[in-house]
Amino acid sequence: MALFNTTSWSLAFKLSLTITAVVTSVGFLIGILMVVQDWKRFQNDLAEKALLLSESISITAPKAMLRKDYWSLYLSLKNMASKGPGARSEHEITDAMILDAEGMVQAHLHPAEHPIGLLFSPRDEDDKALFREAMTVRTPTVLSSGDFSKDGFQEGVVPLFSDQKYLGVVRVRLSVASLFEKTMSTAVIVLLSILLFVIIGSLLGTIVSRRVVGSLTAITRGLEAVGRGEMTDFSPIPVKEGGEIGRLSVTFNQIMSELAEKKMLEEEIAMSEKLVALGRITAGVAHEVNNPLAGLLNCIDTLRKHPNDKVLIDRYLPVIDQGLHRIKDIVHNLLVGLKIEESVEMITTGQVEKLHDLVLAEIGEREIDIIWNNTTDRDLFIPGKTEQIICNLLKNAVEIVPENGIVRFNMHQRGTSLVIEVSDNGPGVATNIRNQMFDPFFTTKPNGTGLGLWVVYRLVQSMQGVIEVKSEAGKGTTFLIELPVIHRRAA
């Protein structure tokens, strides 16, 4: 069965097969038309000869019939069969007769089978139908068997009149056996010619298809390389011919060259952006860590000089503790963000509900309302990164809103995507700093590290999601996230 699986055939083979099929079909169609036309032409020639023979008999037959000269009638049929234009050497006269108006035999080429003076006796039903038709003929007519076989015939029928009185008919039947043999010979010659043309056409089709498909194959490989992002390894297609394929090859080489150059530029830009991002993070870490470190070193140096001064110890120990915890928070947030970004853990949307309790614990005694709305199917699996995104956004909202503030959480499905919305009625974000919200170490909170929203942005990007921020100074902030990450639990 795999042999006939056309989807696995190469384009060169399909094209060669198509060309062969087209050449074969056209050849056979032309051959059939030639044979049919030859057969019709032979039939028409034979019909004219049969009618000519019948008319030659009809010239003398009326006088002999009036005299009842049956012998003269028989001799005219006999001489026609042996010497006429329809002689046996060209076309065999299989039957010839002269019948009176009642259908009585006046003369017959085979008198032993059809005696004179008796009603003509047809051999079968077809012959009987032809006899009835011949007896109704009043003008010279040709009757035919109508089939394509060596047993077919053409019969010339000429009515006999004397002083406008109907006397009977002359019937001369010629066999098509020799024409059939000639037509079959023509058909054999045509068939052999078609086979020869098919072989030549197939060879030419194979050569042409290989040349055409060679360029197309190279173009296909180039497109596959584009899909794999390997344009830089592309080798130009050699242009061996003109025409559409040649122009296509030249154009494709130009496109691939431009794509390869663009790919190299993109890689260089991406590397530059990575280096810039790394430099920003490094500078941010150095800045954020160096600030508390400088204070810590001063405190330690002062305590080393006054190890027994209880006042200094009580003053500087809290400062040292606060500085160390700040450094710990910065390093922890960086490590947690990178670790979660690489995570492939999956959770259900039902597990997100536990964040509600964590946010309530974070609020503590503060007067903040949490409006929680999770309408997703609890049996849907989502990446575990989603939990960290929601947690960071909720913590950020709770920290920013004032007393009696409101934090809203909404999560629902939209088609095959998960939509998360976290909003608050806090102070909002000024327009001039909105573009810096997701920068690492950028924060408007006194004790913030500036890494929470940066981690959120990185996680959303790693899941090919979209994050949108709507904020207005004094009217709160809304984070809207759409993630194409819904997976239904396996059965």
**88 confidence band (pLDDT: 50, 70, 90):** very low
State yes or no: pLDDT of 451 exceeds 60. Answer: yes
Mean pLDDT for 168-174 is 92
Distance CA 272, CA 370 (A): 43
Q: Tokens at residue 201, please?
A: 């056409």
466-471 and 417-424 strand pairing: unpaired
> What local confidence, expressed as pLDDT, does residue 460 receive?
86
At 1, the pLDDT band (50, 70, 90 cuts) reads very low
Does position 341 have pLDDT exceeding 60, yes or no? no
Q: Provide the residue type at 305 as one letter.
A: K
Stretch 103-126: mean pLDDT, rounded?
A: 89
pLDDT of 321 reads 76
pLDDT band at residue 3 using 50, 70 and 90 as cut-offs:
very low
Most confident of 13-17, 271-275, 332-336, 418-422: 418-422
| Averaged confidence pLDDT in the chain | 77
Arch. (CATH architecture) of 343-488? 2-Layer Sandwich (3.30)
**Contact between 417 and 484 (Cβ < 8 Å):** yes
Q: What average pLDDT does this structure show over 202-222?
A: 66
Report the range of poorest mean pLDDT among 17-26, 229-238, 294-303, 477-486: 229-238
Q: Is residue 185's pLDDT more than 70? A: yes
Between 60 and 146, the higher pLDDT residue: 60
- Which of 53-57, 193-197, 337-341 is predicted least confidently? 337-341
Ordered by start, the domain boundaries in the chain are: 10-183, 343-488
Token pair for 491: 């059965």
Residue-level pLDDT at 5: 45
> Thinking of the domain 10-183, which architecture would CATH place it in?
2-Layer Sandwich (3.30)
For residue 490, the model assigns a pLDDT of 42
Contact between residue 56 and residue 80 where contact means Cβ atoms under 8 Å apart: yes
What per-residue confidence (pLDDT) applies to 342?
58
Q: From CA 114, how far away is CA 126, in angstroms rounded?
A: 18
DSSP 188-229: HHHHHHHHHHHHHHHHHHHHHHHHHHHHHHHHHHHHHHHHHT
Is-contact 71 84, C-beta < 8 A? no
Question: Per mean pLDDT, which range of 31-40, 163-172, 180-189, 433-442 is the poorest?
Answer: 433-442
**Predicted confidence band at 2 (pLDDT cuts at 50, 70, 90)?**
very low
pLDDT level of residue 183 (50, 70, 90 thresholds): confident
Residue 275 binned pLDDT confidence (cut-offs 50, 70, 90): low
What is the Cα 302 distance to its own chain's centre? 79
Among the residue ranges 11-20, 242-251, 392-401, 469-478, the one predicted with the least confidence is 242-251
CA distance linking residue 339 with residue 362, whole number of Å: 23
b/e 196-215 (16+ beta carbons within 10 angstroms → b): ebbeebbeebbeebeebbbb
pLDDT score, position 106: 92
Look up residue 433 and give its DSSP letter.
G
